[in-house]
Each structure stands twice: as structure tokens, then as C-alpha cells.
Structure 1
Amino acid sequence: MAPRQKRMLLTVDGSQRAIQTVRYAGEEDAFKGMKIVLFHVFNSIPEAYYDLEKEPKSVKVVRHVRSWEVEQKKSIRKYMDDAKQLLMDAGHAETAVDIKIQNRKKGVARDIIIEAHNGYDAVIVRRRGATALQNIIVGSVTLKLMEKLNFIPVLIAGRKPLNKRVLVAVDGSPCADRAVQFVGEMLGPHEDYHVRLLNVIRGGPKPDIDLLEDNGIGETGEVFKSPINILVNAGFPPENISTKTVTGVLSRAGAIVNAAHGGDWATIVVGRRGLSSVSEFFMGRVSNKVVQAGRKDTVWIVT
């Protein structure tokens, strides 16, 4: 029996920033062959507004609004068609890209969350959308999605150019193992990806650069054994896996981002919850801080 085709929910809001997210999905070779659903929540005019039609003096205004709404729908449809074409130009089959435009029901974030329950393997978003202020790193919709999409991996597309080097933070927790498993499922069939497993241990009054260790997979600590086995079983050549332990740092998130930048790892993968996290507590944890600190990085958050 052929394996089930993976399904990715790619959220777009009609902005140029979202088009960059579409380009990311097109450039990421691991997504080739997957079903990608381009999903847009359309902010239509509230039905209550049309009650004005009952007022003779308001008829012209309502007609103008209806005409505006029709034009907006035409505009977003063209935008979505152009986004689909970008994916096709990048090598995705026409049948592998679907477009779904939905009138807003409960709110943009809540509508995306509801859609995400429909058999997807991950949700692709961007830090900021069309209306984000310049000094805001993560927009309000994305923040809500990061917090509430706790049942599915969230892939946050960054602006850094893609490569096939992936940094995965591990700490021996079940969630970290699931993050590694997700990487294996997504990238394992592709032999040209390299993965660095990173374990960060806090402690000490200041970072101590001398306590950085680079290890080949032949000399690894206990924390790396399970992740390495997961990756090898997923198809990664052992020579494409490396490990690093960082100790004596004040910030795990800062150490993860610094390691990604120092080694030119374009994608950072973190588990939503680590060994010390409370079950339902997310905001302010390591994964959120990585998204904030690595503002240009692509970050995958895995539950």
C-alpha cells in the first residue's frame, strides 16, 4: 500500500508577505509531492450591515458596499490563483495544490484552527501579515496560532535563504523525540539533508565558549541516542547527522539561535514542550523565544 500523501495547510492573507511564505513552500524540496492547501479567510461585510437595505436612504450605500465586496473577492481569487501558479512553477503538480477561500466565521485565527483539524500534517504560517507594525516581530494572528495549534506542527516561514541544513533542539523529552520524528518523516526520504542535534544546558553566571562541544555520532551522550536512531530509521545517512552540546548559557533559546546562525542552519526545529514545561503552558517558553529571537529564521514547532 502506498503511503498516505501528506497534507500541508498554508495560510495566506492577501499580503505580499504571505506570497513570500508561498515561495518558501515552493522552494522547500521536502514539500514536493505533498498536498498543499492554500487557505484564506475572507473578511466579508457583516450580514447585519445589509439590514440597511431596508432603509430607503441607505440603498445606494449598500449597493456600493456590495460592489466593493465583489471586487475584493475577485482580487483575492486572482491572488490565490497567482499563489498556486508560484507553487506549480516551483515544481508542484497542479493536482497537488488546492485553493480554499472561506468567509470569516469565528475570526481569522479560530477559523484557521478549525480548518487545521481536517487531516493536515502541518500548518505553514508567517510571523507577520498585512497589517503588522514594523516593530512587531510576531503578528497577533500568528501568536494565537502558535498558542492554540497545540495538536499539529506549526512551520513558521522566515526570510533567511533556504538550505538543506536543519538544526533540531533535543533535551531527552518525549516532545523532543516527536520533533525529531517529524523531521525524519518530512526529510528522511531526501538523502541530501543534514541534521545537527543540539542539546543546550543552562547554568553558570555567564556563557562559557570553552564548554561548546562538537561531536560526531560516534561519541554522543545519552540524550542523542534516541534522536539518532529515529533519524537513521527514517532514512538519514549517519554521516549526515551531527551533534552538539552547549553548556553554561543563560538562555536556551538564545543558544539555539546562535548555534543556527554560527553553523548556517536555515531551519530550526524545536519541541513545543520540554522536560521542565507545564502541560498547558506555552507563551514565554523556549519555542516562543526562539521564534522571537530568530526573527529571520524558519522555525518548526512540533507538539
Structure 2
Amino acid sequence: MAPRQKRLLLAVDGSERALQTVRYAAEEEAFKDMKIVLFHVFNSIPDAYYDLEKEPKSVKVVRHVRSWEVQQKKNIRTYMENARQMLLDAGHPETAVEIKIQNRKKGVARDIISEAQNGYDAILVRRRGFTDLKNVTVGSVTNKLMEKLSFIPVLIAGRKPINKKVLVAVDGSPCANRAVTFVADLLGPLDGYLVRLVHVIRGGSKSDVLAFEENGLTDTGSVFKEPVKLLTAAGFDPKNISTKTITGVLSRAGAIVNSAEKGGWGTIVVGRRGLSGVSDFFMGRVSNKVVHAGRKDTVWIVT
């Protein structure tokens, strides 16, 4: 029996920024064998508004609104077809790209979360959509998805050029190991990907601020033992796996983002929660801070 095709939910809002996310999906080799569903929640006019047709003075206004809604639906259909064509032009089979437009039911974020429950392996979104507020790192919808989508990985597309260098934050927690497993399953069969496993220990003396331990694959008692095992079992060449321990820093998230920046790592992968595992928190502090600190980075958050 052939393995089940993985499914990626790609949420778009009709903005140019969202089209950049589609371009990312088209160019990222990791998604080539996945079924991609382009999903849009359409903000239609509430049915209650049309009750105004019963009022003679409001008939013209309602007709105008109906006409506007019809045009908006045509616009989003064209937008979605263009997005689909981007994926097809990049080599995705026609049968592997689907368009799904849904009228808003409970709210944009809640409707996306509801759709995500239908057998997807991950969801791909942009940090922001239509909003142009310069100081907003993550838009309201994406922020809600990060908080509430605790059952599948949330992939947040950044603005940096795509490459095959993936930095994975590890701390020995089950969630971090699941993040490594996600990377192993998605990228293991592909050629040319490099993985850097990073373990950050906060605190220590000032002299330890830039103390690194690199390529510690022979240290079988380290936090890297299980992640390396998972990656090699999935097909990664040990030569394409490296490790780094960073100590003496004040911010784990800052150190992770800094390491990705200096090393030119195109994707940062973090577990949703670390060793604390506090169930009352929808999302760990480190993973949340990585998303906000790495303003241009692509970040994969794995539950």
C-alpha cells in the first residue's frame, strides 16, 4: 500500500503578502510531494443585512452591496486561481493543488482552525496579511493560530531567500524531539539539506557568552544523541548534520535567531513547548519569542 500523501493547508487572505507565501510554498522542495489546499475565508455580507430589502428606502443600497459582494467573490476566485497557477508552474501536479473558498462562519482564525482539523499535516501562513503597521511583527489572525493550533505544526513563511539550511532548536524535551522527527520525515528523503542542531543554555559567566561546542556527534551522552539518531534513520547523511551548544546568554530565543542569522540558516524549527511542558501555556515562551525576534525568518513551530 502506497503511503498516505501529506497534506498542507495554505491559508491566504487575498493580500500580496499571502501571494509571497504561495511563492515560498512553490519554491520550497519540502512541499513538492504534498497535497496543498489553498484556503480562503471569505467575509461575506451578513444575511441580516439583506433584511433591509424589506425597507423601500434601502433597496438601492442593498442592491449596491449585493453587486459589491459578487465582484469581491470574482476577485478572490481570480486571486486563488493565480495562486494555484504559481504552484503548477513550479512543478506541482494539478491533482495536488486544491482551491477551497469558504464563507466566514465563526471568524477567520476560528474557521481556519476548524479546517485544519480535517487531516492536515501542517499549516502554512504569513506573519501578516493586509495590515501595514510597521511595528506589528505578527498579525492578529496568525497570532491566534499560533496560540490555538496545538495539534499540527504551524509554518510561518519569512522574507529571507529560501535555502536548504535548517536550524533546529533542541533541549532534550519530547516536543523538541517531535520537531526533529517532523524535519526528518519531511526532509530526510530529499538531497542537499543541511541540519544544525542548536542547544542553548541560558546564564553562566560572562566569559562563557560565546562558548560554542560544535560538531559534537561523538558525544553520545549529550542532548543531541536522540535527534541525530532520528535524522540519520530518516536518511540524512551524518556529514550534513552539525551541532552547536551555546552557553552564557540571557535569551535563548535571541541566541537561536542570532545563530541562524550568522550561519545563514534559512529555516528555524522549534518545538511548541520546551522542558517546562506547562499545559496552561498554549505556546512556550522561547518558541513565541523566536517568531517575534526573527522578523524576517521562516519559522516552523512543531507541537
TM-score by structure 2 length? 0.97
- After superposition, give the CA deviation of every residue in 1:75-125 in whole Å (9 maximum; x if it has no partner): 000000000000111111111000000000000000000000000000001
- Percent identical residues: 77
Q: Distance in 1 between matches of 2:285 and 2:207?
A: 20
Q: After superposition, where does 1:117-128 map in structure 2 within 5 Å?
A: 117-128=117-128
Q: After superposition, where does 1:54-73 map in structure 2 within 5 Å?
A: 54-73=54-73
User: Is the contact between residue 160 and residue 296 of structure 1 (CA under 8 Å) also seen in structure 2?
Assistant: yes
Specify whether residues 283 and 33 from structure 1 end up closer, same or farther in structure 2 by C-alpha distance, changes over 3 A only: closer
Q: CA deviation at 1:277?
A: 3.7
Q: CA deviation at 1:191?
A: 2.4
Q: After superposition, where does 1:75-94 map in structure 2 within 5 Å?
A: 75-94=75-94
Q: CA deviation at 1:282?
A: 3.7
Specify whether residues 38 and 249 from structure 1 end up closer, same or farther in structure 2 by C-alpha distance, changes over 3 A only: same
- Residue 18 of structure 2 corresponds to which residue in structure 1? 18
Secondary structure at the aligned position of 1:168 is classed as strand
Secondary structure at the aligned position of 1:190 is classed as coil
Determine whether 1:240 maps to 2:235.
Answer: no
Q: Distance in 2 between matches of 1:284 and 1:231?
A: 24
- After superposition, give the CA deviation of every residue in 1:119-152 in whole Å (9 maximum; x if it has no partner): 0000001110112422100000000000000010
- Residue 252 of structure 2 corresponds to which residue in structure 1? 252
- Residue 280 of structure 2 corresponds to which residue in structure 1? 280
Specify whether residues 205 and 144 from structure 1 end up closer, same or farther in structure 2 by C-alpha distance, changes over 3 A only: farther
Q: CA deviation at 1:24?
A: 0.5
Q: Distance in 2 between matches of 1:224 and 1:191?
A: 22
Runs of 4+ in 1 over 4 A off after TM superposition: none
Q: Distance in 2 between matches of 1:210 and 1:18?
A: 38
- Residue 291 of structure 2 corresponds to which residue in structure 1? 291
The amino acid that maps onto 1:105 is K
Q: Distance in 2 between matches of 1:201 and 1:117?
A: 35
- After superposition, give the CA deviation of every residue in 1:187-228 in whole Å (9 maximum; x if it has no partner): 010121010000000113658344122125234652100000
Q: Distance in 2 between matches of 1:173 and 1:236?
A: 22
The amino acid that maps onto 2:272 is R
User: Is the contact between residue 220 and residue 243 of structure 1 (CA under 8 Å) also seen in structure 2?
Assistant: no
Q: Distance in 2 between matches of 1:299 and 1:95?
A: 28
User: Is the contact between residue 282 and residue 288 of structure 1 (CA under 8 Å) also seen in structure 2?
Assistant: no
Q: CA deviation at 1:280?
A: 2.9
User: Is the contact between residue 41 and residue 104 of structure 1 (CA under 8 Å) also seen in structure 2?
Assistant: yes
Unaligned runs of 5+ in 1: none
Determine whether 1:102 maps to 2:97.
Answer: no
Determine whether 1:153 maps to 2:153.
Answer: yes
| Count of residues in Structure 1 that have an aligned counterpart in Structure 2 | 303
User: Is the contact between residue 274 and residue 284 of structure 2 (CA under 8 Å) also seen in structure 1?
Assistant: no
User: Is the contact between residue 150 and residue 282 of structure 2 (CA under 8 Å) also seen in structure 1?
Assistant: no
Q: After superposition, where does 1:71-220 map in structure 2 within 5 Å?
A: 71-204=71-204, 206=206, 208-219=208-219
Specify whether residues 210 and 132 from structure 1 end up closer, same or farther in structure 2 by C-alpha distance, changes over 3 A only: closer
TM-score by structure 1 length? 0.97
User: Is the contact between residue 191 and residue 235 of structure 1 (CA under 8 Å) also seen in structure 2?
Assistant: no
User: Is the contact between residue 42 and residue 104 of structure 1 (CA under 8 Å) also seen in structure 2?
Assistant: yes
Secondary structure at the aligned position of 1:5 is classed as coil
- After superposition, give the CA deviation of every residue in 1:153-183 in whole Å (9 maximum; x if it has no partner): 0000000001000000000000000000000
The amino acid that maps onto 1:168 is V
Q: Distance in 1 between matches of 2:200 and 2:220?
A: 14
Q: Distance in 1 between matches of 2:30 and 2:208?
A: 36
- After superposition, give the CA deviation of every residue in 1:239-269 in whole Å (9 maximum; x if it has no partner): 1111000011110000000010111100000
CA RMSD, 1 decimal: 1.3
User: Is the contact between residue 185 and residue 234 of structure 1 (CA under 8 Å) also seen in structure 2?
Assistant: yes
- Residue 2 of structure 1 corresponds to which residue in structure 2? 2
Secondary structure at the aligned position of 2:224 is classed as helix
- Residue 35 of structure 1 corresponds to which residue in structure 2? 35
Q: Distance in 2 between matches of 1:4 and 1:249?
A: 43
